[in-house]
Chain A
Amino acid sequence: MTNPVLSIRNLNIDYIGAEKDFHAVKDVSFDIAPGEFFGLAGESGCGKSTIAFAVSRLHRPPALIRKGSQILVGGRDVLALDDNELRSFRWREVAMVFQSAMNSLNPVLTIETQFYDVLKAHSRISRAEARTRAAELLKLVDISPDRLTSYPHQCSGGMRQRIVIAICLALNPKLLIMDEPTTALDVVVQREILQRIDVLRKELGFSVLFITHDLGLMVQVSDRIGIMLEGELVEVNDAQTIYRTPQHAYTKRLWASMPKLHGEQIREGAKS
């Protein structure tokens, strides 16, 4: 792939214990192209969230990114950044939406202030300019600008998630990482949000690293998918190829475990 937005090579991440280490991510390599929607799927404990945290260097001990790992964003070596560079790197190059992002809005600040905080930290901007920009961003996610004066608790869960996404897009990042962003939301709200993200990334050109355990959603929304099992990336391919002709035994087993909504139902292959 030429000029990938994200390039991960030989990523190894361990959780250090008092005696033994837990290998959360084992020698994972993959790329994400500009404007691509890449899904990382797997069950709990497979290491997908660990990878997401590593790209923004958000880990805390006992997590340890092992020597020999390489993470490049837009060609830049993320693991070599010092604190100052990291500060400008986050939000500007890479932005992250967490599962509980709805709860990561400061409850005592208005929405407008939250935008202003982020914008001010990265550029010289006046309060009035920030307000205009915030209104623009809210419009991107279908929220009326008069929400700027609200507090987070006055907004619904889905709306809060959309606000977080708008804040993430404030500095036009190249890569938006979303870690289970809609798992706690209802299916209709989930659909609205993801459809919006899909449209936005085509308009604004950012890539998405989308992490979820909902495989059906992943196939519906991603260009390419990576399947993770116990720290290893076992299969990477276009979404439809992985869905219709899975190669790895684990991928096949996953599809066989998902009841279908339409058409022929899966056979009760799995024993009870």
Chain B
Amino acid sequence: MSDAILALDNVSKTFGRADKPVYAARSVSFGLHPGRTLALVGESGSGKTTAARLIMREYTPDEGQLLFRGTPLGKANAKALKAYRASVQMVFQDPFAALNPTHTIRYHLERPLRLHQPKLNSRERTAAIEELLTRVKLDPALLMPKYPHELSGGQRQRISIARALAVNPQVIVADEPTSMLDVSVRLGILNLLNDMKAQLGLALLYITHDIATARYVAEDIMVMYAGQIVEWGDTESVLTNPQHPYTRLLLSAVPDPDRRFSDTRFSEELNRIEFIRRQSALPQPETREVANNHFIRPMPE
């Protein structure tokens, strides 16, 4: 974690009342490294969205801390916070809600430039906008005057990415960036994220419930359940040799065209589902290394 540009250190966040707490995050620790993608997978309610919101500072941790370049964020002054905001950007799930319907594409890309590079004059700004649009493989002349409703879902998502890149961030949090796009468009967006990561040395946090795409983009993966990271490490190792019962359950349930219903392991797991869920939700501070760069929090039996 020492060279992680952004890290969560033992972060916990609880919602709800004292008698009915909801553990959105429990002792969550992970780091994002430049040039690498970390996938965060889990079902709804697992806490992956909470992790994103903690990073975007929509919530503050109840316990633990966020570290940016090694410095805890809680102690940061206003200047450091502004630098943080420019360094960490988000790409949202819903391409239709991510852009303001009353503003042109040009406006959407101009604002971040005005805010974070105020010294640019009008001509330089236009050049910067054109460069951003070209980078996300869109035609600047065609798209700058358009409004969001004139664009397709895939185009809108590219604009979202361009907007995130406009402030020269070091970290991008992509929260289910392709789940609301058509299948034939998804790969283009994922490839774009990969290219940007490679070219700009970005640290990418890729949040998804679609584990196959996580395998496509991420070197490392974390499986989350009930606010805890139950298994994490090298993507191939975790996906080909899952050790935690919940991960196994999840993987056997993922639609896999190569395996028909009858010949998968899911039927065996059916009886254990309730048990696995209950046990995996119990707090487990112990961690265990099961292979090189492959760890679990063992499920209490």
The residue of chain A having its C-beta at the shortest distance from the C-beta of B266 within the complex is: A191
Interface pair B188/A262, CB less than 8 Å apart: no
Q: Which of A14-22, A58-66, A120-128, A214-222 contacts B (4 or more CB under 8 A)?
A: A214-222
Interface pair A220/B261, CB less than 8 Å apart: yes
Q: Is A247 an interface residue (CB 8 A)?
A: no
Given A262-B240, A272-B137, A272-B192, is A43 in contact with B212 using a C-beta cutoff of 8 Å? Answer: no
Q: Is A195 an interface residue (CB 8 A)?
A: yes
Interface pair A188/B249, CB less than 8 Å apart: yes
Interface pair A270/B188, CB less than 8 Å apart: yes
- Interface size, B (range): 35 or more
Interface pair A268/B184, CB less than 8 Å apart: no
Fill in one digit per residue for A248-271: 1 if any B CB lies within 8 Å of its CB, else 0: 000001100111111101101011
The residue of chain B having its C-beta at the shortest distance from the C-beta of A190 within the complex is: B253
Fill in one digit per residue for B233-261: 1 if any A CB lies within 8 Å of its CB, else 0: 00000011000000001111111111111
Interface pair A192/B270, CB less than 8 Å apart: yes
Q: Is B191 an interface residue (CB 8 A)?
A: yes
Interface pair B44/A186, CB less than 8 Å apart: yes
Given A186-B209, A187-B250, A191-B266, is A214 in contact with B255 using a C-beta cutoff of 8 Å? Answer: yes
Given A188-B249, A265-B215, is A259 in contact with B187 using a C-beta cutoff of 8 Å? Answer: yes
- Interface size, A (range): 35 or more
Interface pair A261/B211, CB less than 8 Å apart: yes
Fill in one digit per residue for A61-91: 1 if any B CB lies within 8 Å of its CB, else 0: 0000000000000000000000000000000
Contacting residues of chain B (192-235) with chain A, CB-CB under 8 angstroms: 192, 194-195, 209, 211-213, 215-216
CB-CB under 8 A from A187, the residues of chain B are 43, 209, 250, 253-255
CB distance from B223 to the nearest CB of A (A): 12
Interface pair B183/A213, CB less than 8 Å apart: yes
Q: Is A151 an interface residue (CB 8 A)?
A: no
Q: Is A136 an interface residue (CB 8 A)?
A: no
Interface pair B216/A259, CB less than 8 Å apart: yes
CB-CB under 8 A from B258, the residues of chain A are 260, 262-263
Given A257-B186, A258-B183, is A272 in contact with B211 using a C-beta cutoff of 8 Å? Answer: no
Interface pair B191/A268, CB less than 8 Å apart: yes
CB-CB under 8 A from A132, the residues of chain B are none
CB-CB under 8 A from B190, the residues of chain A are 259
| Complex Cα–Cα for A66 and B211 (A) | 42
CB-CB under 8 A from A270, the residues of chain B are 187-188, 191
Interface pair A220/B183, CB less than 8 Å apart: no
Interface pair A261/B251, CB less than 8 Å apart: yes
Q: Is B273 an interface residue (CB 8 A)?
A: yes
| Complex Cα–Cα for A188 and B240 (A) | 19
Interface pair A43/B182, CB less than 8 Å apart: yes
| Complex Cα–Cα for A220 and B264 (A) | 10
Q: Is A106 an interface residue (CB 8 A)?
A: no
Interface pair B257/A243, CB less than 8 Å apart: yes
CB-CB under 8 A from A265, the residues of chain B are 215-216
Q: Is B267 an interface residue (CB 8 A)?
A: yes
CB distance from A86 to the nearest CB of B (A): 34
Q: Is A235 an interface residue (CB 8 A)?
A: no
Contacting residues of chain A (14-58) with chain B, CB-CB under 8 angstroms: 43-44
CB-CB under 8 A from B239, the residues of chain A are 261-262
Contacting residues of chain A (172-226) with chain B, CB-CB under 8 angstroms: 186-188, 190-192, 194-195, 198, 213-221
CB-CB under 8 A from A253, the residues of chain B are 184
Partner of B184, one of A218, A254, A261: A254
List of 10 A-B pairs having minimum Cβ-Cβ separation, nearest first? A272-B191, A217-B255, A219-B257, A259-B216, A191-B253, A216-B255, A186-B43, A43-B182, A272-B192, A261-B212
Chosen A-B contacts, 10 in total, with CB atoms closer than 8 Å, are A43-B183, A187-B250, A195-B270, A215-B183, A220-B255, A263-B258, A271-B137, A271-B188, A272-B189, A272-B194
Interface residues of B (CB under 8 A from A): 43-44, 137, 182-184, 186-192, 194-195, 209, 211-213, 215-216, 239-240, 249-261, 266-267, 270, 273
Known: A220-B260, A261-B211, A270-B188. 20 other contacts (CB 8 A): A187-B254, A188-B273, A190-B253, A191-B252, A192-B270, A194-B261, A195-B261, A215-B257, A219-B257, A220-B256, A221-B261, A258-B212, A259-B190, A259-B216, A261-B251, A261-B256, A263-B258, A265-B215, A265-B216, A266-B216
